[in-house]
């Protein structure tokens, strides 16, 4: 028997601007959740944009989400998936708070829904919000082996 804080049919919606609006940074949506150790969590997402746009899905510890990370590589992740839709499983390493990030590192705005499910119940997400991260700097070499970033 799994112990989880849950609620029925909790679907979380997001809409994240694309790079055409901000060419040097990407947008992301984040939310915290608290599963128990050893729990298998099914992560389901789908996007509903005019142009099919893949989203990058990360599960990280909260401090990794707060550190500096770049759009192309994302934060140090315990889980990573990418696609316009998907459903996959992740096993919780320890009981605690985790942060789920949906990153839009594409040209167009992406909108969609996301759900976390353990067993037959939906795990509620808390403390949701939006943020931006930077694209990785492009370095030029001004002299041999001396990058200018």
Tell me the C-alpha distance between 14 and 20, whole Å: 18
Tell me the C-alpha distance between 28 and 60, whole Å: 14
Question: Which pLDDT score is estimated for 109?
Answer: 87
Which CATH number is 12-148's, of 3.40.640.10, 2.60.40.1120, 3.50.50.60, 2.60.120.380? 2.60.120.380
Q: Determine if residue 96 is left, alpha or beta; phi over 0 gives left, psi from -120 to 50 gives alpha, anything else beta.
A: left
pLDDT digits (tens, 9 = 90+) for 24-82: 889 999 999 999 999 999 999 999 877 778 899 999 999 999 899 998 888 999 999 99
Using alpha carbons, select from 43, 30, 12, 33 the residue that is nearest to residue 95.
33
Q: How far is CA 33 from the centre of its chain?
A: 13
Using alpha carbons, select from 68, 127, 60, 117 the residue that is nearest to residue 89.
117
Out of 16-20, 27-31, 41-45, 120-124, least confident range? 16-20
Strand, helix or coil for residue 53:
coil
Question: Which pLDDT score is estimated for 97?
Answer: 95
Round the CA-based radius of gyration of the chain to a whole number and report it: 17
Q: Where are the domains of the chain?
A: 12-148
Tell me the C-alpha distance between 70 and 137, whole Å: 9
Cβ neighbours of 136 (radius 10 Å)? 12
């Amino acid at each position: 028997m799994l112990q989880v804080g849950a609620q029925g049919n909790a679907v979380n919606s997001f809409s994240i601007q694309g790079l055409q609006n901000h060419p040097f940074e990407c947008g992301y949506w984040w939310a915290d959740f608290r599963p128990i150790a050893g729990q298998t969590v099914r992560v389901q997402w789908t996007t509903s944009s005019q142009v099919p746009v893949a989203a990058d899905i990360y599960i990280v510890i909260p401090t990794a989400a707060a550190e500096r990370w770049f759009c192309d590589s994302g934060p140090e992740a315990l889980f990573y998936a990418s696609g316009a839709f998907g459903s996959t499983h992740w096993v919780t390493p320890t009981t605690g708070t985790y942060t789920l990030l949906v990153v839009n590192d594409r040209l167009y705005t992406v909108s969609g829904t996301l759900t976390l499910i353990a067993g037959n119940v939906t795990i509620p997400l808390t403390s949701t919000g939006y943020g931006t991260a930077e694209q990785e700097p492009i370095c030029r070499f001004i002299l041999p082996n001396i990058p200018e970033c």
